[in-house]
A and B are shown apart, each in its own frame.
Chain A
Amino acid sequence: NAGVMQNPRHLVRRRGQEARLRCSPMKGHSHVYWYRQLPEEGLKFMVYLQKENIIDESGMPKERFSAEFPKEGPSILRIQQVVRGDSAAYFCASSPPSGRAANEQFFGPGTRLTVL
C-alpha cells in the first residue's frame, strides 16, 4: 500500500506564473489536508477536503489560492500568479473516512515551491 504521494517534489516558478501541486492520498483514504511550511516557520493548516467537497478552507489565503479533490484523480492545490512569499514547502496529508473516533493523518513527502 503506497503512502501519500505528492508531485512534483520540487517546483520552480517565476513570479506571475501558476503553480499546481498534486496529492494522491493513501488507498482507501477520502480525506485530504494541505499544510504549508514557510521558511524557518512552523506548519500551518490551509484546507481540508473530502471527495468533491471543501470542508474547511479557513487557512487558505483569500486570493490566488484554490484547492480541489475531484471524484477521480489527485487533489490539486493551485496557486495563481505566484509571488516570492509563496515559496514554501507544501505538505499533503490523508486520513480514512470518518466513523472512527480519531483518524490518523499520514503525510506526503511535500512539494518544495521556489518562486524566482
Chain B
Amino acid sequence: KNEVEQSPQNLTAQEGEFITINCSYSVGISALHWLQQHPGGGIVSLFMLSSGKKKHGRLIATINIQEKHSSLHITASHPRDSAVYICAPRKDFGNEKLTFGTGTRLTIIP
C-alpha cells in the first residue's frame, strides 16, 4: 500500500465549478506540501501546512493531522487551473525529504 494516496486520479470539470482533491497518508508527518505541475513544466509549491487551513486566492488547503488527511480546494475553477496536483507529506522532524502522491490530473473545460 502506498504511503500517500490521492483521489481522484483524474478529474474533469466545467469552468466555475468547485474542485476538491483529497490526500490520505499513513506516515507521521511534520508538514505537507501541495504542489502544482503543468504538462512538461516545472513544479510550483502552492502550500505548505502543518495544521488547520491556508488560503491563497482561489485555493484553499486544509489538513487534519489526527485523521492523516488533507484536501485542496479550488473555487471558481478556470481552464488555467488545469494541471497535475501533487500531495507531498514531509515525514517526522529531522527527516526533511518529501514523499509524493501519484497526483491528480485536473482538466477544466471552458
Contact = CB atoms under 8 A, between A and B. Distances in A.
Interface of A: 31, 33, 35, 42-45, 48, 55-56, 59, 91, 93, 95, 98, 101-110
B110 interface: no
A110 B99 contact: no
A33 B97 contact: yes
A9 B28 CA distance: 35
Contacts of A109: 41-42
Interface in B86-108: 86, 88, 90, 93, 95-103
Given A42-B86, A102-B50, A108-B42, A31 B100 contact: no
Contacts of A101: 30-31, 50, 93
A48 B41 CA distance: 23
Contacts of A106: 45
Given A42-B101, A42-B102, A104 B96 contact: no
Given A48-B96, A55-B96, A95-B96, A104 B103 contact: no
Given A42-B86, A101-B30, A91 B96 contact: no
Contacts of B43: 43, 91, 107, 110
A107 B48 contact: no
B17 to A, nearest CB: 26
Interface string B11-47: 0000000000000000000110101000001111100
Contact of B97 (A42, A48, A110): A48
B100 A44 contact: yes
Contacts of B90: 102
